[in-house]
Amino acid sequence: MRLPLVRNVLILLSMIHFFCGNVFAEYKRKAVFSNNQGVRYNNHGLIEDAIVAYKKAIEEDEKYPDPCYNLGVLYYEQKEYNLAVLYLQQAVMLGPEVPEPYFDLGMVFFKLDLLDKAKEQFVLAMTKKPKFYGSYYGLGILEYKKGNYKEASELYKKSLMRKPEDVKILYAAALCFNKLGDVEEARRLLENSISLNPDFAESYFYLAQYYFDHKDWDKALALYQEAKDRKEKEWPEVILYRGICFFKKKERELAQPLLKQALQNSETKGLAYYYLAALDVLENDKEKLFAQLNKAVELDPKLALMAYEDPDLDSLKADPRFLNIVKITPTPLIVFTSTSTPTPVVLTTQVDRFTPSSKATITTTWTPVLSSTFVISKSTVSQQTRRTPNIKVLSTPVPPTPVVTETLLATPSVTPTVTPGFLNRVLGVK
């Protein structure tokens, strides 16, 4: 009598197992459907609908990592970083062998400026998949942030070897090569990123900056327009630089409204005032001009030397009001004479910038004029020094038996200057 009873129990357990398995499978199917629906909503820009669908998928299957990951990435893109951390950590727990959640969690920590935590996640992603492109990219952005551009460039190269079509890596590598002074490689990478993804607005913007620095105003304007067309919101830097391009082309009627529009943004206001002042030179309205220039320098003191060097403002440089605004005194140039055969020498000087603790080095080459006179013939300034009000000699290798015979005052044409890389001086672009 016991055997039939045991058999009946086994049959009942099998039925329960079969029934539960079907129930769990049904929940899984529903969760997958809701997750996929969230992806579709997200792809069409329906963010709130996507959030609802992802959360529904999580409720339908608590152990399903995909909706947690997708929701974390969505919150990251919406700059809801705390919520992004919450869901990405959940995705890591549910799918610990997958590298992507670690990488995206590292990116969130990077945005929160928690660099040690970011590095930890990038390294963990690499342990899960040693050839994962994201690990090298993540470590690269950390090195870039620290100013280690050479190390960053090597990491970006490794990332591109694994994913050469990734536009954001190409874009990041372009910024890095520009910092290293290789602007042509930066240009090549930007052009490549545009060919791979014609909708990535930032690549057009930075490529426009390249042509801006090369004074190709028409190409720059065309690329600024391409960048503008790909952004839903107003882009203040694009507005500003389009206005400057039209100013350089002497198209005042197109430049002025753009520059006035750029006054509405705190990041672009200083340079906008500057070029509005330069426009006023054409009208010979000096009162208005000096008022605009003074506002520009107050907002961005680096514009003082720019004004001092700008040939468009040459007609103002003898005016005491101009010198009072820029607060720059001409730099003394020393002329050496020697009784022996002259050879080139190098004069190293140090320049005080606006913050007392910030210094920059100028290297000046002295070359012979006639048989025994040395004058400054070329000056270069490191990094982005934009003002040189106080110069002092640090070390001076001099010609044989030098004798200082006279001190001359430098004119703006020989004041040490700097030309920043085409990506270095962009205002507030992320």
Q: What is the Rg, in whole angstroms, of the alpha carbon atoms belonging to the chain?
A: 31
Report residue 356's pLDDT band, with 50, 70 and 90 as the boundaries. very low
Q: Strands of 84-179 (E only): list them.
A: none
Residue given tokens 């016991």 in the structure block: 2
Give the span between the Cα atoms of 356 and 238, in whole angstroms: 33
Task: Collect all residues with Cβ–Cβ distance below 8 Å to 317 and sequence separation of at least 6.
Answer: 308, 323, 412
Residue 227 has pLDDT above 50, yes or no: yes
pLDDT band at 26 (very low <50, low <70, confident <90, very high): low
Amino acid, res. 378? K
Which whole number is the average pLDDT over 79-96? 91
Range with the largest mean pLDDT of 23-32, 231-240, 337-346: 231-240
Across 77-106, average pLDDT = 92
| pLDDT tens-digit readout, 173-192 | 998 998 888 889 989 999 99
Give the residue, 362 or 127, on which the prediction is more confident: 127
Show the domains of the chain with their CATH numbers.
11-130 (1.25.40.10), 232-332+409-425 (1.25.40)
d(CA 266, CA 330): 31
CA atoms within a 13 Å half-sphere pointing along the CA-CB vector of 243: 26
Residue 122 has a pLDDT of 94
Condensed to tens digits (0 to 9), the pLDDT of residues 108-129 reads 999 999 999 999 999 999 999 9
Residues in Cβ contact with 97 at an 8 Å cutoff, skipping those fewer than 6 apart: 128
Are 363 and 418 in contact, with CB atoms under 8 Å apart? no
Give the residue with greater pLDDT, 25 vs 204.
Answer: 204
Per-residue pLDDT at 424 exceeds 50? no
Helix, strand, or coil here: 116? helix
Question: What is the maximal distance between C-alpha atoms in the chain?
Answer: 128
**Nearest in space to 365 (alpha carbons), one of 346, 337, 392, 342:** 346
| 355 or 8, greater pLDDT | 8
| Phi, psi angle pair for 192, to nearest 5° | -65, -40
Give the residue among 130, 126, 140, 132 at the shortest CA–CA distance from 170: 140
Q: Residue 107 carries which side chain, given as an amino acid letter?
A: M
